[in-house]
Amino acid sequence: MACMLFQVQATSLVTPDVHQQNFLSRRLKFGMKPNRHLAMPRKAQTDDRILDPGGYKDRVRQMWHKRAPEYDFQNDFHPQLCEQLVAIAHIKPGKLNLLDVATGTGTVALLAAQGLGPEGAVTAVDVSEAMLAKATEKARAAKLHINCIAQDIEMASFPTGSFDYILCSNGMAYLQHPEATLRKFHSWLREGGKLCFNNPLVPMIPLAAIVRRLAAELFGLKVPDAAKVFGTPEAIQSLCKAAGFKDVQVTTTPEVKAYSALDPEHFAGLVFYMVATFPATPFDQLLSIRQLQQLRAAYMPEAVAMADGMRTGNEGVLLHFTMQWAIAMA
């Protein structure tokens, strides 16, 4: 597959300074009060990938609930990746069953339903009711029948051998228990069934590593990279084979995401906001306002310099990354 250029529209972005003010003020408005002990963050439970895992799934659900109203209008990044994923799955028409994991607004599910034809059946699962409502609306408008289920896929249960295909676009990094979930996927597939998913080669955004490093240096927080568990072809091969998949193939493609509306300073600020509010790294809940400001102040000079090196003429900041495409046979 050729390199794809994804354009982020200017209208979809609020300046990071406004984002920063908003998520700092939200902590007070909605009861997320600053820590009494400003010298250090509160001690949080952690695992290898997630800070404060007890509230992780609620944070994932809330994040997608907030993004649902404008998600389909923000940029063309996700839809094109969905199209590529469906293409590599080689979906055949007929009496076949397909499960779309983390369907979001249903892009993969709709494409899959068209590929399977009227005799096929598509089940779409997502943790966010708001995102799933958008998927339901789109399916109705397209006159396609999709069985939409609002549920955490890690809590879902389907009979053994229910599906011929399981697809997941940009959702594997959100799994809290990837090993156990992959075993479920394997059991849900019929013999010869196919699991197809994508995940960026890590690191996708180099600036995010600066935030994680400084959080460890300043506050002793061991900050995970949620995408790391599926972050290399070797990791994908190992996880899938351990779950029982026989033939696992991973290919890669170079991709480019253009932030044409942002200069280096605003791009750096956007990355900080993304990391600080990401469900696996909820700095906006674990740190005080003063600590967040301290972390951002330490981060910005180095991050802006790095982002400046990613700028190309008048095209703004170009994020070059590598996408992995996995096909695992049951």
CATH for 4-329, among 3.10.180.10, 3.40.50.150, 3.50.50.60, 3.90.1150.10?
Answer: 3.40.50.150
Question: Which segments of the chain does DSSP mark as H helices, in order?
Answer: 16-29, 56-67, 71-74, 77-89, 107-116, 129-141, 178-188, 206-219, 233-242, 264-276, 283-286, 289-308
The residues, ordered by sequence, that sit 6+ positions from 31 with a Cβ below 8 Å of its Cβ are none
Tokens for 208, please give them.
Answer: 């995010």
Residue-range domain boundaries for the chain: 4-329
Tokens for 254, please give them.
Answer: 């170079």
Question: Which segments of 155-232 does DSSP mark as H helices, in order?
Answer: 178-188, 206-219
pLDDT by 10s per residue, the chain, length 330 = 444 444 444 333 333 444 444 544 444 333 334 443 333 444 444 455 687 788 999 999 999 999 999 988 876 788 999 999 999 999 999 999 999 999 999 999 999 999 999 999 999 999 999 999 999 999 999 999 999 999 999 999 999 999 999 999 999 999 999 999 999 999 999 999 999 999 999 989 999 999 999 999 999 988 777 778 999 999 999 999 999 999 999 999 999 998 888 999 999 999 999 999 999 988 888 899 999 999 999 999 999 999 999 987 777 899 999 999 999 999
The Cα angle at residue 119 between residues 116 and 122, in degrees rounded to 5: 55
Could you give phi then psi for residue 205, rounded to 5 degrees?
-120, 100
- CA–CA distance, 291 with 251 (Å, rounded to integer): 41
Neighbouring-strand partners of residue 327: 196, 249
3-state secondary structure of 196: strand
- CA–CA distance, 73 with 122 (Å, rounded to integer): 24
Tokens for 67, please give them.
Answer: 């993004």
